[in-house]
Amino acid sequence: MDKRILIPTDFSKNALNATRYALDLYAKLNCEFYFLNVFRLDNYTTNTLIMPEPGSAEYEGAKGASEEAFAKLLDMLELHHDNPKHSYHTISSFNFLSEAIKQTIDSKDIDLVIMGTQGATGAKGVIFGSNTVNAMEKIRECPVMAIPDNLRFSIPKEIVFPTNYKSSFSRKELNYLIEIAKMHNTSIKVVYFTKKTTLTEDQEKHKQLLDDILQGVDHSFHTLTDKDVAQGITSFVQSRNSDMIAFINKKHFLFNSIFSRPLVKEIGYDATVPILALNES
């Protein structure tokens, strides 16, 4: 069965960069890519009482501009990314980005969302920094991957997976991580942050289960004593030239604060590698 990947785009360089990364990362798989553009109307704000209607000159003009930009994007992809395993679909929507993403996930049975971390610089309402963070925090229907600005694709050799071992693991929630690792012969580095030296009995059980689930891929376990989790992950990634960070987005998880405003500035906004937010099953 084809994998269905949603890529929100504002046609900026960063969005195009995320698109290229996604196409290269999944070059070996049969994929349907859905490109979503949320278009804006110049004279419309949320304070305006009258909603612009489909059919009105302003609405149709903005939608037409979105569709025109899509035509150029598809021409470019045909020229530079002609992969018989990939097919492309476009969606132009007048909506809030988060709402449009959720509707598309639902209506197209999307497996994964891939976004750039920044949008068109200075353009009001389309800065992907906060949008990407919100998507990672709020989208629970499927995993979300954020691609840093200007990052060129190279085959991922190492993915860093931070955990506190406080919750159990399942194959379902780690499915996308394992899939990427198997596709590219990537090693997974499980990193545990702690102030204590020993694990509780439950933590030991969860670690053993994780070890069992990751049996099919190259993986190893590491322990760090950094007090600042975000800084610790960043240092670990930089010191080893790791290629990606993946974590399970649990509401009660030690790292759910990673994507709150102060920490995302360190990891998300200034990310040097892609970040994959997996969902707990």
Count of C-beta atoms within a 10 Å radius of residue 255 = 19
3-class secondary-structure state, position 158 = strand
Distance of CA 2 to the CA centre of its chain: 19
Task: Please write the tens of the pLDDT for every residue from 190-215.
Answer: 999 887 778 899 999 999 999 999 99
Confidence of residue 50 (pLDDT cuts 50, 70, 90): low
Cα distance between residue 196 and residue 19, in whole Å: 42
Beta bridge partners of 230: none
Beta bridge partners of 196: none
Segment 38-43 long-range contacts (CB within 8 Å, at least 24 positions apart)? 38/8, 38/10, 38/93, 38/94, 38/95, 38/96, 38/97, 38/100, 39/63, 39/65, 39/66, 39/92, 39/93, 39/94, 40/94, 40/125, 40/126, 41/94
**In the chain, what are the domains?**
3-147 (3.40.50.620), 158-279 (3.40.50.620)
Beta bridge partners of 91: 36
Q: What is the pLDDT of residue 82?
A: 86
Q: Is the model's pLDDT at 49 over the cut of 80? A: no
Task: Please write the tens of the pLDDT for every residue from 141-154.
Answer: 899 999 988 889 99
DSSP secondary structure code for residue 53 in this structure: P
The mean pLDDT of 8-24, rounded to a whole number, is 93
**Residue whose C-alpha is closest to residue 146's, from 270, 235, 237:** 270
Return the H-helix or E-strand segment holding 115: strand 112-116
DSSP secondary structure code for residue 37 in this structure: E
Q: What is the pLDDT of residue 167?
A: 87
As a whole number, the mean pLDDT across the chain is 84
Q: What is the pLDDT of residue 279?
A: 82
Q: What is the pLDDT of residue 46?
A: 54
Most confident residue range from 58-62, 65-69, 104-108: 104-108
Q: Is the model's pLDDT at 19 over the cut of 90? A: yes
For the chain, the residue count is: 281
123 versus 9: which is more confidently predicted? 9
Q: What is the pLDDT of residue 127?
A: 40
Identify the weakest region by mean pLDDT among 7-21, 115-129, 226-240. 115-129
**Residue whose C-alpha is closest to residue 30's, from 87, 105, 110:** 87
Tokens (6 digits) for 141: 């229907």
Distances (CA, A) of 194 to 203, 208, 227: 12, 18, 8
